[in-house]
């Protein structure tokens, strides 16, 4: 199925222009050696020993060195020893599977898989996101229109539960935990090993940046392309998009190829998200598969501009190996500690404290035009990332399985995206003045407005950032009584905070 004649006409003139092509970088690639099951078992024993050493009644957490959460944590929970749980255990290139430790970053996992021509089915956009974190949270990426979410590629996983035991969960074993783990954010336990499916990938990716001028045509095109899975007669590898305004929107369509040739490099003067902008039609580009996977990490999508990394003069001096999200996180840490932006910029100039607006939400593709029009009229935040999601075929068979979740008709009931429906993830990461809503606005005022609008549109929002729901509102959106019922089984003593405490209260 191709694009309708109306949509083809809407694309207007087709440009043969190509972005500036430079050799691919592979600057921070390193060959990752699997750690093996023996070392993994030793690391798990250290984790269990640290759990046993925590006094009864004390809550626990993972003593992770990295985090991609944008919400504060106020509770004094005891950190568990996760040293030695940050690698790939083994890869089976014949079966197309990998056994991976829970704290393994996607950067390490990708670098271990690519030499085999394989990659995870869904790779969240930032290098230091861990596999365990993406599965217990919500990871989204340009392959999500055909591969769904990271947890849908999980064949089985070993989880440290609140009882201090390692429990194996799969579609056949401890099914309630398997289905309830996604979007539980550590409230039920932590994954120490995950066996996942991999998929074959090409060495290079051809990109088509397609310009649109109105949200309705844009949403219709995205929906049609998701359904077809092809563009210009080629199978699509990845699909996402960027909206700079209701009148400047782009689809980024990626098709794999093994044909050698020059590729672009966005770790120098060029900036990826700026490279997709053009006045009309289609602009072409080309990347190595690794640079495509991490194209958004280089400038943290576009958030590196807050640190001056996109200033042409600064860009020339900025070390290439520090153009990555993990370094920007360190700068964020300094700002949180010393409130640098307010103390050095806002307060001296008589400006109000700014409200952080860092969110990802999902609405169905038919509600996308309304969301785009509303968001750009409600704030001056731009651009906005847009990524389609469609749960994998066959996942419906999970619904109704298990004991606690026997009556749940969603395969993943703690984040109930319906099968057979195209959802669009909208990501926006910036700030607004503290008085954006009103002169006497309460903390998080604009975030609360966003939550209300998303609910009106029948959507959800991801819980990696600040949330302001009441317990009643939260239950309506995220599984009702099911999180509590699962917790009674897998964490009866409450060693981990519950889902609401984790994601809203900052426990």
Note the pLDDT tens digit of each residue in 172-208.
999 999 999 999 999 999 999 999 999 999 999 999 9
Q: How far is 430 from 438, CA to CA, in rounded Å?
A: 19
Please report whether residue 77 resides in a domain.
yes
**Rounded CA separation 282/211 (Å):** 6
User: What confidence tens digit (pLDDT) does each residue in 108-162 have?
Assistant: 999 999 999 999 999 999 999 999 999 999 899 999 999 999 999 999 999 999 9
Inside any domain, residue 247? yes
Q: Confirm if 482 and 88 have CB atoms less than 8 A apart.
A: no
313/19: higher pLDDT: 313
pLDDT at 70: 54
The closest alpha carbon to 64, from 142, 128, 156, belongs to: 128
> Residue 483 domain-assigned?
no
Are 361 and 414 found together in one domain? yes
Residues 169, 61 share a domain = yes
Token pair in block for residue 280: 């009309």
Other beta carbons within 10 angstroms of residue 9's beta carbon come to 10
| 8 Å CB contact between 424 and 362 | yes
Give burial (CB, 10 Å; 0-12/13-18/19+) of 298: buried
pLDDT tens digits for range 428-440: 999 999 888 887 8
Q: Measure the CA angle with vertex 179, ends 486 and 501; round to 5°.
A: 45
Which of 288, 312, 345 lies at the terminal end of a domain, its last residue? 345
**For residue 338, what pLDDT is reported?**
61
Other C-beta atoms closer than 10 Å to the C-beta of 470 total: 10
Query: What is the maximal distance between C-alpha atoms in the chain?
Result: 68
CATH of the domain at 460: 3.30.70
Tens digit of pLDDT for each residue in 216-254? 999 999 999 999 999 999 999 999 999 999 999 999 999
Listed residues 294, 314, 345: the one ending a domain: 345
Give the count of domains, the chain: 3
**Strand 460-461 to strand 118-120: parallel, antiparallel, or no bridges (unpaired)?**
unpaired
Position 492 scores a pLDDT of: 95
Do 308 and 367 belong together in one domain?
Answer: no
Domain span at 427:
356-469
Name the H helices within 249-296. Answer: 272-275, 289-293
| Domain boundary, last residue among 165, 180, 200 | 200
Query: Any idea which of 34-48, 360-374, 391-405 has the lowest mean pLDDT?
Result: 391-405
Quote the CA–CA distance of 276 and 253 in Å, as a whole number: 11
Top pLDDT among 13 and 65 is at 65
Q: How far is CA 449 from CA 84, 415, 467, in A?
A: 43, 21, 11
Q: Are residues 308 and 369 in the same domain?
A: no
pLDDT at 325 over 60: yes
| pTM, to two decimals | 0.91
So what's the pLDDT on residue 341?
62
Task: Say yes or no: 196 and 213 in one domain.
Answer: no
Would you say residue 504 lies in a domain? no
Q: Is 217 exposed, middle or buried (0-12, 13-18, 19+ CB in 10 A)?
A: middle
| Integer CA distances (angstroms), 228 to 2, 145, 233, 283, 499, in order | 7, 11, 10, 21, 37
Q: What is the pLDDT of residue 74?
A: 58
Residue 66 clears pLDDT 80, i.e. is over it: no
Distance CA 492, CA 164 (A): 11
Q: Are residues 316 and 364 in the same domain?
A: no
Half-sphere exposure in the Cβ direction for 286 (13 Å, CA)? 17
Q: What is the CATH number of the domain that holds 79?
A: 3.30.465.10
Do 114 and 263 fall into the same domain? no
Structure tokens given for 310: 């996109």
379 shares its domain with 294: no
Are 331 and 256 in a shared domain? yes
Residue 322 and residue 234 share a domain: yes
Measured CA to CA in angstroms, residue 365 lies from 221, 225, 386 at distances of 10, 12, 11
Question: Are 79 and 62 in contact, with CB atoms under 8 Å apart?
Answer: yes
> What's the confidence (pLDDT) of residue 354?
86
- Is 491 among the domain residues? no
- The pLDDT value given to residue 468: 95
User: How many Å separate Cα 237 from the centre of its chain?
Assistant: 17
pLDDT tier at 263, thresholds 50, 70, 90: very high
Query: Which of 73-77, 327-331, 399-403 comes out lowest in average pLDDT?
Result: 73-77
In this structure, the answer to whether residues 328 and 419 fall within a common structural domain is no
383 prior amide bond cis, ω within 30? yes
Give a yes or no: residue 501 inside a domain.
no
CB atoms within 10 A of CB 89: 22
Same domain, 60 and 184: yes
Domain assignment present for residue 240? The answer is yes
Confirm whether 446 is domain-assigned: yes
């Amino acid at each position: 199925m191709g694009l309708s004649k109306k949509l083809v006409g809407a694309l207007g003139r087709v440009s043969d222009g190509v972005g500036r092509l430079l050799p691919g970088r592979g600057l921070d690639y390193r060959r990752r050696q699997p750690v093996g099951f023996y070392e993994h078992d030793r690391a798990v024993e250290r984790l269990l020993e640290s759990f046993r050493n925590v006094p009864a009644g004390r809550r626990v957490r993972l003593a992770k060195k990295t985090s991609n959460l944008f919400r504060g944590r106020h509770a004094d929970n005891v950190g568990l020893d996760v040293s030695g749980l940050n690698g790939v255990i083994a890869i089976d290139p014949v079966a197309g599977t990998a056994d991976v430790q829970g704290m393994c970053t996607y950067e390490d996992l990708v670098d271990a898989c690519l030499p085999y021509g394989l990659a995870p089915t869904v790779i969240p956009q930032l290098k230091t996101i861990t596999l365990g974190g993406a599965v217990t949270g919500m990871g989204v990426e340009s392959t999500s229109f055909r591969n769904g979410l990271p947890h849908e590629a999980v064949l089985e996983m070993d989880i440290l539960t609140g009882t201090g035991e390692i429990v194996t969960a799969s579609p056949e074993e401890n099914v309630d935990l398997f289905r309830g783990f996604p979007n539980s954010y550590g409230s039920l336990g932590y994954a120490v090993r995950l066996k996942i499916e991999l998929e074959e990938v090409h060495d290079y990716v051809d990109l088509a940046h397609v310009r649109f001028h109105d949200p309705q045509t844009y949403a219709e095109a995205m929906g049609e392309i998701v359904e077809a899975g092809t563009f210009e007669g080629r199978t699509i590898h990845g699909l996402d998009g960027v909206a700079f305004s209701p009148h400047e929107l782009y689809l980024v369509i990626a098709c794999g190829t093994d044909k050698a040739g020059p590729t672009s490099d966005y770790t120098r003067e060029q900036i990826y998200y700026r490279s997709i902008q053009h006045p009309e039609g289609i602009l072409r580009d080309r990347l190595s598969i690794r640079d495509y996977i991490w194209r958004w990490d280089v400038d943290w999508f576009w958030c590196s501009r807050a640190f001056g990394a996109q200033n042409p003069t600064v860009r020339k001096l900025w070390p290439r190996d520090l153009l990555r999200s993990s370094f920007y996180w360190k700068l964020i840490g300094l700002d949180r500690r010393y409130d640098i932006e307010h103390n050095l910029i806002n307060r001296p100039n008589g400006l109000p404290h700014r409200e952080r607006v860092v969110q990802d939400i999902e609405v169905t593709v038919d509600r996308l035009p309304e969301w785009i029009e509303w968001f750009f009229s409600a704030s001056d935040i731009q651009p906005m990332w847009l990524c389609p999601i469609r749960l994998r075929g066959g996942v419906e068979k999970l619904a109704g399985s298990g004991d606690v979740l026997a009556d749940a008709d969603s395969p993943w009931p703690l984040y109930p995206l319906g099968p057979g429906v195209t959802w669009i993830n909208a990501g926006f990461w910036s700030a607004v003045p503290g008085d954006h809503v009103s002169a006497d606005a309460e903390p998080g005022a604009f975030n609360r407005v966003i939550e209300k609008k998303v609910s009106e549109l029948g959507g959800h929002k991801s819980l990696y950032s600040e949330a302001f729901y009441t317990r009643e509102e939260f239950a309506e959106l995220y599984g009702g009584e099911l999180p509590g019922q699962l917790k009674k089984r897998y964490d009866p003593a409450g060693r981990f905070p519950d889902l609401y405490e984790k994601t809203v209260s900052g426990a």
